[in-house]
Amino acid sequence: AAPTLWPSPPTASPTAQPLAIVSATRRPAATPLPAATATPTASVSPQPPSPTAGPATPTASPAPAAFEPNDYQLVEIVDGLDRPLTLVHAGDGTGRLFVVEQPGTIRILSDGALLPDPFLDIADRVNASGNEQGLLGLAFPPDYAVAGAFFVNYTDGDGDTVIARFQVSADPDRADPASETILLQIAQPYSNHNGGDLAFGPDGYLYIGSGDGGSANDPQNNAQDLQSLLGKMLRIDVRAADPVGGRPYAIPPSNPLAGRADARPEIWAYGLRNPWRFAFDRATGDLYIADVGQNTIEEVNFQPADSPGGENYGWRPLEGTRPTELDPVPDGTTPPVAEYTHAEGGCSVTGGYVYRGGALPALVGRYFFGDYCSGTIWVLTRDAAGVWQREVFGQAGFQISAFGEDEAGELYVLSHRGGAVYQVAATP
């Protein structure tokens, strides 16, 4: 049987040294948002079906400088949370952090303190009975400060995926749970592999990570089926409706499958097993997708900012770069830029962010990701020759359910069962 997303307590990787963990009394001071500079970079060459023009112009920063892991620590910001899964900011200039709790609530961290009342409580409609079910994703659009609408991803009473819009109330720290507008529902054949992440891209469209539907070996081959929304990255325009198709959202005309009768037009990329956290590099627009493996390999996929979409990341014919022998490997698959085996320790990748903060200059340009089971944290960069390099950053010592990023680009790590949020900070 396929492993669940969160199957076991941490088992330390033998190559990862423990990171120092300190209490909230030594919380680092906030830093202003740095001004990012960028230069063009070369892109990969996927072979997507029916590609169209891409949404953004690619940019990239120079290769990061050397760093020393012992120079960093994890500083506890808050604890007492109920299975936190996501930490995001609203981009509204308030500096608040919004933490998604799996049972169905969103909490606010303001000036380092957890507000007593939830920002949103929809536990009455969220099914969190399975390890991989619950309130799974949260995204604030670029115009949130003006419009006050935000978007969530959760599993409902039937275990199906719901993408919904909510509205903030007159109180900026409270959303209206009765304001829900359901945009998209996806039937889930099993309780696991629901994906759940949401994020707005540099193009202003909403991206949705969808798992393959669960069980082992993707029995319905959803990830390769272009008529299924499972096992995909989806891309929709929530700023407009589609009166012809009857959808409460529009299909971006540059989506790679838009207009094809044999495919769902929402699909942006496919061949994913269970994308557990994806993120755009705020300086370059590049997209990083961490995809949970089955029995052997965990992987990180990369989509450059100038991609027209349509990449096939290979599941189920491939688990990482390893053929599964379930199907012939199709032409034109896009391999991961990083992978690790379960023999290294761990069993479930957790995607993070490219660090773009101002407090830790030696880390700028590095993509952070980790393993839920082992608690190991890695960083990923491209060297001067364009070759991807994976380095161990350290051992968190807890189950990493997510990373987070604040308005200034500083980086956070969430402890799932420990119910805590930590900030990556310099060692004094």
For residues 215 and 189, is the Cβ–Cβ distance under 8 A? yes
Give the integer Cα–Cα distance in Å for 152 and 175.
12
| Host H or E run for residue 154 | strand 149-155
**pLDDT given for residue 15 in this prediction:** 61
Rounded Cα gap, residues 219 and 179, in angstroms: 37
What integer pLDDT is reported at residue 40 of this predicted model?
A: 29
Q: Which helix (H) or strand (E) holds 147?
A: helix 144-147
Predicted pLDDT at 296: 95
Cα–Cα separations (whole angstroms), residue 157 to 68, 123, 214, 292: 47, 10, 17, 25
Neighbours of 157 (CB within 10 A): 11
* Burial of 213 from C-beta contacts in 10 A (0-12 / 13-18 / 19+): buried
Q: From CA 424, how far away is CA 428, in angstroms rounded?
A: 13
**With contact defined as beta carbons under 8 Å apart, do 296 and 302 qualify?**
no
What pLDDT is attached to residue 65? 67
pLDDT of residue 67: 82
Q: How far apart are CA 201 and CA 280, in angstroms?
A: 7
* DSSP per position, 247-261: BSSB--TTSTTTT-T
pLDDT value at position 62?
58
Residues 226-273 pLDDT 10s: 999 999 999 999 999 987 778 999 999 999 999 999 999 999 999 999
By the 8 A CB rule, do 370 and 376 touch? Answer: yes
Which residues, listed in sequence order, are joined to residue 318 by a DSSP beta bridge? 323
pLDDT computed for residue 384 by the predictor:
87
Q: And the tokens for 241?
A: 């409706």
Region of 219 please: left (phi>0), alpha (psi -120 to 50) or beta.
alpha
What does pLDDT average to in each consecutive run of 10 residues of the chain (428 residues)?
40 66 57 31 32 43 72 96 98 98 98 96 96 96 97 97 98 98 96 96 98 96 98 97 87 96 97 98 98 96 98 98 96 97 92 98 97 96 93 96 98 97 96
Cα Dmax for the chain: 60
CA distance 228 to 267: 9
Between CA 260 and CA 262 the distance in angstroms is 6
Read off the amino acid at residue 59: T
Task: Identify which of 3, 5, 12 has the alpha carbon closest to the alpha carbon of residue 397.
Answer: 12
- pLDDT for res 345: 83
pLDDT tens string 335-363: 999 999 999 888 999 999 999 999 999 99
